[in-house]
């Protein structure tokens, strides 16, 4: 029987609002876990060996689990915490023709057009002189990337390519730019002294509130569905997974998926393996036995069939919103989903009592990839790729079915408990 319903999507909306960056997503996930009795562990400390819920955070990635006294396998639900957006450059103050602007770098695969003419804000983290980290979220309109008026750009509807260096620089005021002004503003917003800020990761954030949409409100629109839907589903399922038999349920949500996962905290890093080894303890041979019996589900968003471009989809595999989570299959292992993996997915979905669908790319459109093949290869764990069907992936406003987020949480719970 499914455990999560539409109210899960309301919770997801609140999670998205509280999580404009990977660092905020880890903080919010930590807050929810702690409210359910989980405890944050520091990687530099010795860890407790007794039963209990724990989590660790490393640079925008979070791993949470329920330690058991006796266990023989892990069941891991993987996700990512980052989203394509714009990152503020180290010296951001710039301007042109009487406008103050903020220099930004493109982070990940941003479809430029969807970010134009939107009220944007800034959120991120500051690393202070004393080594502490301060989160900042300016929760009001601050930036805008203005579109060129159609009268000055008669070809706009024939397709327009924007130069990422010169034509995507947001404005944030009028007048002459002054060096240091933006970071002084951000420091004041964060309540810290700008002179003590030694480093920053600051990102443009879409401000529109998540909303239900459609005649019967059967659709759900928000920024960062990719992939806070999976991160939040994993948190909810882990909190609900009180009885998992002899398996340790784990949520692993990584930062930097959108830029290749190659950082000290990303899916290509030893973060997850390090946590799993510490959960098992000193016995090296036992670790190998536990890993051999373990399984992982890597969850991300995927492309629902688009009504205006159905030909872009494989004709026999056209997932629709609210048809349930998809297993993503690729013979070339862009997605990790062979026969054993398919069976793992089916067992989890059947245990959860939810509908499900299959996604396959067209042979002539290779599509994306995700953390599944990376983590599976790193750890040597059976891994299946799954996805939530959405439209407008990587847009500043994505769209999914309103029932599907709860089904994804049920699928994660099915993985943890079946």
Alpha-carbon dihedral angle through residues 110, 112, 118, 124, given to the nearest 10 degrees: 30
Interface with Zn ion includes 82 (CB under 5 A)?
no
| Residue number with CB closer to Zn ion (95 or 210) | 210
Residue 266: other Cβ atoms inside 10 A? 23
| Residue number with CB closer to Zn ion (227 or 294) | 227
Least CB distance to Zn ion at residue 296 (A): 16
Least CB distance to Zn ion at residue 238 (A): 20
Least CB distance to Zn ion at residue 257 (A): 6
Least CB distance to Zn ion at residue 62 (A): 16
Q: Are 386 and 230 in contact (CB under 8 A)?
A: no
Half-sphere exposure of 270 (CA within 13 A, CB side): 4
**What stretch of H or E contains 153?**
none
Q: Are 410 and 349 in contact (CB under 8 A)?
A: no
Tokens 């079915």 label which residue?
A: 401
Q: Given candidates 85, 227, 261, 392, which one binds Zn ion under the rule CB under 5 A?
A: 227
Least CB distance to Zn ion at residue 405 (A): 14
Write the CB contacts of 285 (distance below 8 Å, at least 6 apart in sequence).
none
Interface with Zn ion includes 181 (CB under 5 A)?
no
Q: Given candidates 59, 226, 341, 404, which one binds Zn ion under the rule CB under 5 A?
A: 226
| Residue number with CB closer to Zn ion (81 or 227) | 227
Least CB distance to Zn ion at residue 120 (A): 21
CA distance 92 to 24: 22
Count, residues near Zn ion per rule CB under 5 A: 3
Interface with Zn ion includes 28 (CB under 5 A)?
no
Stretch of 99-107, 159-167, 221-229, 317-325 lying at the interface with Zn ion (CB under 5 A): 221-229
By CB under 5 A, what part of segment 286-345 binds Zn ion? 300
CA distance 345 to 131: 43
Name the burial class of residue 243, with classes exposed (0-12), middle (13-18) and buried (19+) by CB atoms within 10 angstroms of its CB: exposed
Site residues, Zn ion (CB under 5 A): 226-227, 300
């Amino acid at each position: 029987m499914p455990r999560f319903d539409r109210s899960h999507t309301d919770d997801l909306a609140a999670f998205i609002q509280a999580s404009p960056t990977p660092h905020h997503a880890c903080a919010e996930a930590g807050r929810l876990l702690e409210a359910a009795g989980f405890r944050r562990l520091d990687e530099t400390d010795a860890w407790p060996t007794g039963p209990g819920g724990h989590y660790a955070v490393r640079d925008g990635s979070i791993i949470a689990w329920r330690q058991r006294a006796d266990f023989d396998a892990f069941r891991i639900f993987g996700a990512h915490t980052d989203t394509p957006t714009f990152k503020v450059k180290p010296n951001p103050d710039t301007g042109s023709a009487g406008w103050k602007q903020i220099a930004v770098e493109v982070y990940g695969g941003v479809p430029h057009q969807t970010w134009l003419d939107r009220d944007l804000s800034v959120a991120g983290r500051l690393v202070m002189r004393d080594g502490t980290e301060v989160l900042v979220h300016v929760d009001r309109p601050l930036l805008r990337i203005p579109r060129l008026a159609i009268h000055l750009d008669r070809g706009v509807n024939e397709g327009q390519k924007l130069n990422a260096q010169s034509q995507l620089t947001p404005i944030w005021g009028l007048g002459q730019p002054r060096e240091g002004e933006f970071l002084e503003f951000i420091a004041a917003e964060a309540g810290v002294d700008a002179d003590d800020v030694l480093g920053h990761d600051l990102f443009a954030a879409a401000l529109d509130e998540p909303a239900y949409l459609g005649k019967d409100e059967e659709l759900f629109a928000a920024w960062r569905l990719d992939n806070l839907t999976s991160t939040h589903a994993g948190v909810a399922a882990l909190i609900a997974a009180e009885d998992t038999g002899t398996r340790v349920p784990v949520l692993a949500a990584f930062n930097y998926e959108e830029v290749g996962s190659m950082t000290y905290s990303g899916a290509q890093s030893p973060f997850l393996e390090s946590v799993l080894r510490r959960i098992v303890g000193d016995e090296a041979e036992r670790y190998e036995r536990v890993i051999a019996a373990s399984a992982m589900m890597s969850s991300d968003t995927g492309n629902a069939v688009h009504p205006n471009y159905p030909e872009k989809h494989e004709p026999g595999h056209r997932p629709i919103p609210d048809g349930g989570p998809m297993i993503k299959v690729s013979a070339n292992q862009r997605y990790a989903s062979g026969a054993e993996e398919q069976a793992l997915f089916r067992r989890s979905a059947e245990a959860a009592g939810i509908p499900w669908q299959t996604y396959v790319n067209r042979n002539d459109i290779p599509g994306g990839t995700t953390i599944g093949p990376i983590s599976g290869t790193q750890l040597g764990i059976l891994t299946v790729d799954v996805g939530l069907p959405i439209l407008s992936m990587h847009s500043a406003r994505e769209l999914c079915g309103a029932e599907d987020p709860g089904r994804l949480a049920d699928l994660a719970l099915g993985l943890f408990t079946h």
